[in-house]
Structure 1
Amino acid sequence: MIIHDFTSQSSLMNQFISELREVTIQKDSMRFRRNIERVGEILSYECSKILARTTEIIETPLGTKEMTLPAKDVVICSILRAGLPLHQGILNYFDTAENAFVSAYRNHIDDGDEFEIVVNYMATPSLEGKTLLLVDPMLATGRTMKSVYDVLLQQGIPKNIHIISVLGSTQGVDYVKEHFPEDTHLWIAAVDNELNSRGYIIPGLGDAGDLAYGTKRHFDSAQ
């Protein structure tokens, strides 16, 4: 795996990350969503530098110009619901991309530390031979990302895979590095070194989905 970790880089993105972490600022859910969106925009720009290219002749009012442009084979797949603002930030830049959505969540067994990943919804175009941008703001254990990827493979084998996350743990980065193809690219704004017993990033920023959209409950559709 090729890892693009911006943790130690001094840039404007650090301002957005610090606001995402800050308990007083993150209470403003609109600002929280927008900061995730802005991180997605920056990571999209960085990612775009290495995507496949095509050459097109562009007609201007006074002539023509040959331009090198990113290939139009991108599918953005976000993990609901926390991935939505990050998805929007990426879509702001890859505005001609196809879109996919997968619902996945942790089911803590008997409310203990152990959990399983439940995937219960997917909407996606074919992924065969395309560039997949797999989007989730939090890369904690990496198990959700792997479970979603396994389900997505039912829709075809991507030509290229790029994982885009706002914040991760060292353990999560190591997990996806082990379980994804070697030529996968990981784009991540910040990495923390610790997970707690329930698999949450320390110091992290809390539950990104709750901070963006409010607290939730999980319901068994069979009931």
Structure 2
Amino acid sequence: MSDQHNPPSTRTVPPNVHVSSHPLLQAKLSQLRSSSATTRETRNLVHEIATILGVEAFASGWKATGTGKTDCTPLGLEYETQGIDPANIALVPILRSGLGMIEAINDLLPSAVPIYHLGLFRERFSLQPVEYYNNLPFQRSEQSSDINNAAASVAVLLDPIIATGGTAEAAIQLLREWGVQRVVMLSILGSEDGVKRAAACWPEGVEVWIGAVDERCNDKGMIVPGLGDIGDRLFVAIGK
């Protein structure tokens, strides 16, 4: 089917994938695709798109809940404070480019949460993910020294791009082995096959929230039309 009848933002995706239809996000994504966007503009657009994605993701399956604490308004009136459920959250950016989304999501949350990092890169020829950094804290269970209890029940996984899906799949499996009950992945753009691969690796435990889905990757594993190497664009590393 041609793109005229099946635009990138509405391609067929699994039920645990949520593609944004927010008009502001789509307008900003169009600006981000442009080769003329400066580094500063790129960083701002990634931040703004991540904010919209975060608002959409947190509006689904999350709820406000009382903290059991009270505070006073400027008029001296007491009120019960609210938090969010689940409260046991960790943010996990995939290095490098996931760092560009951290501030936006952290600012949305009502209180500070742990931030852990996963370093994964795609081997140049095989395009398979290689892990080079992982600071997920290992916690031993009281019942068994061999079982890891995650320090969070929900991991918010951040990576602007899901290209082949190999990196996303590897990160999700690492978080699952760590012991989280749920992974919420936020991405700006993905290829159709890559998004399906990420969503299928743990269907009951993963939600993918994404700005748009493009048709495919080229033979170098780059999404087309895509938006280039977002890590290089964020960190002025073009030509490395």
Normalising by structure 1, report the TM-score.
0.85
In the alignment, residue 104 of structure 1 is paired with which amino acid?
L
User: Highest Rg: 1 or 2?
Assistant: 2
Q: Which runs of 5+ in 2 are unaligned?
A: 1-14, 139-149
Aligned to 1:88: 103
Percent of aligned positions that are identical: 25
How far apart, in 1, do the equivalents of 2:22 and 2:203 lie?
30
Q: Following TM superposition, by how much is the alpha carbon of 1:150 offset from its aligned partner in structure 2, in angstroms? A: 2.6
**Residue-by-residue CA offset, 1:162-195 (whole Å, 9 max, x unaligned):** 0100000110111012212324211101111121
Q: How far apart in 2 are the matches of 1:10 and 1:48?
A: 15
Q: Which one of the candidate residues 43, 46, 68 is aligned to 1:36?
A: 46
Structure 2: distance between partners of 1:125 and 1:198: 34
Aligned residue identity for 1:22: S
**Ranges of 4+ aligned residues in structure 1 off by more than 3 Å:** none
- Give the Cα separation in 2 of the matches to 1:81 and 1:138: 11
Q: Which amino acid aligns with 2:195?
A: V
**Is 1:99 the counterpart of 2:115 in the alignment?**
yes
Choose which of 65, 72, 84 in structure 2 pairs with 1:54.
65
Residues 67-94 of structure 1 show CA distances to partners (whole Å, capped at 9, x for unaligned) of: 5431321101011111111122111212
- After superposition, what is the alpha-carbon deviation per residue over 1:71-119, rounded to whole angstroms, capped at 9, x for unaligned? 321101011111111122111212512101111111123xxxx322111
- The residue type equivalent to 2:181 in the other structure is K
What is the CA distance between 1:215 and its match in structure 2? 2.5
User: May I ask how many residue pairs the two structures share in their alignment?
Assistant: 209
1:15 equivalent in structure 2:
27
Task: Note closer, same or farther for the CA distance 1:147–1:183 as it changes in structure 2 (3 Å cut).
Answer: closer
What corresponds to 2:83 in structure 1? 69
Q: Which has the higher strand share?
A: 1
Letter in 1 for 2:65: T
SS in 1 for 2:208: strand
For residue 177 of structure 1, the aligned residue among 195, 199, 205 is: 199
User: Per-residue displacement from partner, 1:12-68 (whole Å, max 9, x unpaired)?
Assistant: 11221111101112xx11110111011111111112222254313432242222454
Equivalence for 2:129: 117
The 5 Å alignment of 1:200-219 reads 200-215=222-237
CA RMSD of aligned residues (A): 2.1
Which aligned pairs between 1:128-207 and structure 2 lie closer than 5 A?
A: 128=151, 130-154=153-177, 156-207=178-229
Larger mean CA deviation between 121-130 and 164-173 belongs to 121-130
Structure-2 change in CA distance of 1:52 and 1:159 (3 Å)? farther
The answer to whether the Cα contact below 8 Å between 1:2 and 1:183 also exists between their aligned partners in 2 is: no
Specify the SS of the correspondent of 1:82: coil
Amino acid aligned to 1:147? A
| Alignment-derived partner of residue 221 in structure 1 | none
- Name the aligned partner's letter for residue 89 of structure 2: V
Change (3 A) 1:125 1:65: farther
Residue 124 of structure 1: CA displacement? 2.7
